[in-house]
Chain A
Amino acid sequence: MVKRIVVGAHYGFRDWLAQRVTAGVMAVYSVVFVIAYAAAGPADHAAWRAFFSQGWLRLATLLFFASLCYHAWIGMRDILMDYIKPVWLRLLLQVLVILTLAGYAGWAVQILWRG
């Protein structure tokens, strides 16, 4: 294949910004969660379930996990771009990362809205 120098893929900015925004979402959630936890202080399993049956907390936790997955995707993609040079292997690993994160997100939904 001819090797040409190609510059400016015209993407990357959105991911960079999203990584910052998702970090902000996670930081805010962490503070809010600690406060809510300290206020409610669920001691046993039943109390934990009651704690997480609050609609706003479920939604906030879902947003947290969505942010976490997007944030982790960009971070993992960057690591793979740095260290995995064969394109086929990098693509394969990137797909695996996406599937894993999507699986985690689905699992989080399942746990949050279980029973």
Chain B
Amino acid sequence: MRISIYRYDPDRDAKPYMKDYEVPVEPADRMLLDLLVKVKAMDDGFAFRRSCREGVCGSDAMNINGKNGLACITRIADLKEPVVLRPLPGLPVIRDLIVDMTQFFKQYHSVRPYLVNDEPAPERERLQSPEERAELDGLYECILCACCSTACPSFWWNPDKFVGPAGLLNAYRFLADSRDRATNERLDNLEDPYRLFRCHTIMNCVDVCPKNLNPTRAIGKIKEMMVKRTV
């Protein structure tokens, strides 16, 4: 299988270039990641991230034939040749397919992605009803692979100001949590023409999410909460 990979080593290369590889596909090879491991064996200067190899850690997010996704859960059989692999768009490239995710995580941390509850803790745990727990479905599954945020034009233009789909999905994950007590502060923190309202429902995030989550819906829910508290 022909694979064309974005290569860039800032210490050695004046500018990025695409390098082609011919990788033999064997019956045991199922996912794109299997082939990337082979490329690494052929050319050990090639750098990419990967860890769990089953779509849970979010390390091997990359731009595959123009669409962000995880190499480990992208089936070889579904790929059109030549497979063009580029780093996630919009983030600074450290080397080859490895990008600097600092900005992405800064936005994630800015929404306080943890429970805030100053009430005295009960003896055992803070209980939820099954209905309250169900509110978190479709939110807690986010693996922070950054496929969505780096597919979002609003995040490309304002990565320092717009929280981005991943950050906003996680913001709503805690707004929707019955055990959280910081709803007002969270909404105040998001009420900003950039942080929340740069989302123009382009929905690239929904299109690319490898976990089939819907950040646009979560963002809509945040706006709905703002309507309810204001109107």
Contacts and interface: CB of A to CB of B under 8 A. Distances in A.
B188 interface: yes
A37 to B, nearest CB: 32
B77 interface: no
Contacts of B196: 12
Contact of A17 (B188, B189, B227): B227
B191 interface: yes
Interface residues of B, number: 21
Contacts of B223: 13, 16
B193 A15 contact: yes
B157 A15 contact: no
A114 interface: no
Contact of B197 (A7, A15, A83): A15
Main secondary structure of the interface of A (DSSP, over half): helix
B226 interface: yes
Given A82-B157, A83-B157, A11 B191 contact: yes
Contacts of A16: 197, 223
A87 interface: no
A59 B158 CA distance: 40
A12 B157 contact: no
Interface in B182-201: 188-198, 200
A86 interface: no
Contacts of B231: 17
A9 interface: yes
Interface string A8-52: 111111111100000000000000000000000000000000000
A10 B200 CA distance: 19
Contacts of B110: 7
A89 interface: no
A9 B193 contact: yes
B230 interface: yes
Contacts of A17: 227, 230-231
Contacts of A83: 157
A77 B230 CA distance: 23
A20 B192 CA distance: 17
Contacts of A10: 188, 191-192
B123 to A, nearest CB: 36
Given A12-B197, A16-B197, A17-B227, A82 B158 contact: yes
Contacts of B192: 7-12
Nearest to A12: B193
- Report, nearest first, the 8 A-B pairs whose CB atoms are least far apart: A12-B193, A9-B192, A12-B197, A8-B189, A82-B157, A13-B226, A16-B197, A8-B192
27 contacts: A7-B110, A7-B189, A7-B192, A8-B189, A8-B191, A8-B192, A8-B195, A9-B191, A9-B192, A9-B194, A10-B188, A10-B191, A11-B192, A12-B192, A12-B193, A12-B197, A13-B223, A13-B226, A16-B223, A17-B227, A17-B230, A78-B193, A81-B194, A82-B157, A82-B158, A82-B198, A83-B157
Given A15-B193, A17-B231, A78-B193, 4 more contacts: A12-B193, A13-B191, A13-B226, A82-B157
